[in-house]
Amino acid sequence: MTLDLAKTRVGHGGEGGALLTASGVGKRYATQAGHFTALSEIDLHLERGAFLAVVGKSGSGKSTLINLLTGIDRPTSGTIKVAGEAVTGKTESELAAWRGRNVGIVFQFFQLLPTLTIAENIILPMDLTRAVPAGQRRQRAMDLLSRVGIADQADKFPAMLSGGQQQRAAIARALANDPPLLVADEPTGNLDSKTAEGVLALFSGLAAAGTTIVIVTHEHDVMSLVDRTITLADGRIVGDTARS
């Protein structure tokens, strides 16, 4: 399945060049046992439309890295820029607004809000950022749901959908404001292999259409789909492989 983003893009598409730059990024946490370094000296450069997989063992720093890239956490050293804009140095409010417009996040456990219908979950980021005119939000949500293949589930609540359907809805929500960067944290970790295949195919289509995608995964099968794979160990990049 591929997405026709020409119909859904709202303002970031079409430009070439670097989308994400991380320079000397590090993260240390203060714990009772002393300081713990989760990430150290991470340098990363991603072009628009790149499809990157981040792999590594548990505790290698994968989640910390995506938390920093999405502005959910702040680095203790280094800088991160997305579409030329520095992520560091923003207030919580500024970060929230920035995330809403620039980053789509797909979580492992889908994390759809249970009191909103599927369509309303998709509309929520549009409401929050007002990136889409109010009158067009429902239609855009339906378009996105059609493209992930669950338009017929639009008015159901998340608990009424299967895991695969919920993850598709979560992807549609991540695309609501047509962000230039989409980050997925083990998006197939909770799905059966067939459903996981469908979800990964969605990501491939998105990347092909120009969305920059960073996917954290344990699944080695993904590597055949992505442009590039970096491997983390003990908070450092220990491998960086481009698909030939």
Partner 1 sequence: MRWIKLLRDVKAERGRTMLMLAAVGFALFAVTAMLASYGIVTREVTRNYMSTNPASATIDVAEVTPQMLEVAKTYPGIADAEARSVVEARVKVGGEWMRMLLFVVDDFVTIRMNLFQPYSGAAAPADGAMLVEKVAAPLIGAVEGQTIIIKTPHGPETAVRVDGMVHDTTLAPAWQEQSGYGYISRATLAMLGEAPDLGELRILVPGKPTQAEVDGIAMGLAEQLKASGFDVHGVKVPPPGQHPHGGQIAISLATFLSFAVLALVLAAILVAAVLAATLARQSREIGIMKAVGARSSQIAGLYAVFLLGLGVVSLAVSVPPGLWAAGQLSLLMADTMNFTIADFTPPTWVFGVVVAAGILMPLAAAAFPILKASRITVREAISSGGTATGSPIGIVAPLLTGIGVFGVSYVLAVRNSIRRPGRLALSIAMLATAGGLFITALSVRDGWQVMAANVLTDRNYDLELTFSEPVARSVIGEALTLVSGVETAELWGYEQAALTSAGAIDLMRTYPDGGHGSFAVLGVPEDMSTLDLPVRGGRWLEPDDTNAIVLGQGRHLKAGTEIGDWVTISVEGKPSEWQVVGFVRELGGGGAYVPKATFDKLYGAAEVGKMLRIRLAPGIDRDQAIEAIEAAFNAATLPVERSAPLTMLYEALVGHVEVPVRMIVAAAVLLAAIGGLGLASMMTVNVLERTREIGIMKAIGATPALVLQIVLGEAVTIAVLSWLVAIVVAAPLILAIGQLASGMFGSALPFTLPPSALALWLAIILVIAAVASIWPALRAARLVVREALAYT
- Distance between CA atoms of 174 and 107, rounded to whole angstroms? 10
Contacting residue, 14, 32, 114, 242, with partner 1 by CB under 8 A: 114
Which one-letter DSSP state was computed for residue 133?
A: -
Spatial distance between the Cα atoms of 183 and 63, rounded to a whole number of angstroms:
11
If one asks whether residue 155 binds partner 1 (CB under 8 A), the answer comes out as: yes
- Which residue in the set 23, 37, 127, 241 belongs to the binding site for partner 1 (CB under 8 A)? 127
| Residue pair 125/102 in contact by the 8 Å Cβ criterion | no
Taking each helix axis as running N to C, give the angle between helix 163-174 and helix 134-147, from 0 to 180 degrees, rounded to the nearest 10.
130
Among 60, 67, 153, 212, binds partner 1 (CB under 8 A): 67
- Smaller CB distance to partner 1: residue 184 or 225? 184
d(CA 144, CA 165): 13
Rounded to a whole number of angstroms, the minimum distance from the CB of residue 120 to partner 1 is 5
Residue type, 217: T
Minimum CB–partner distance for residue 101 and partner 1 (Å) = 7
Q: Which stretch binds partner 1 (CB under 8 A): 7-15, 97-105, 207-215, 232-240?
A: 97-105
State the angle between helix axes of 92-102 and 118-129 in degrees (0 to 180), rounded to the nearest 10.
Answer: 120
Q: With respect to partner 1, which residue has the nearer C-beta, 88 or 107?
A: 107
DSSP for residue 156? S
Interacting residues with partner 1 (CB under 8 A): 67, 70, 72-73, 92-93, 96-97, 99-101, 105, 107, 109, 111, 113-117, 120, 123-125, 127-129, 134, 138, 155, 157-160, 173-174, 177, 190
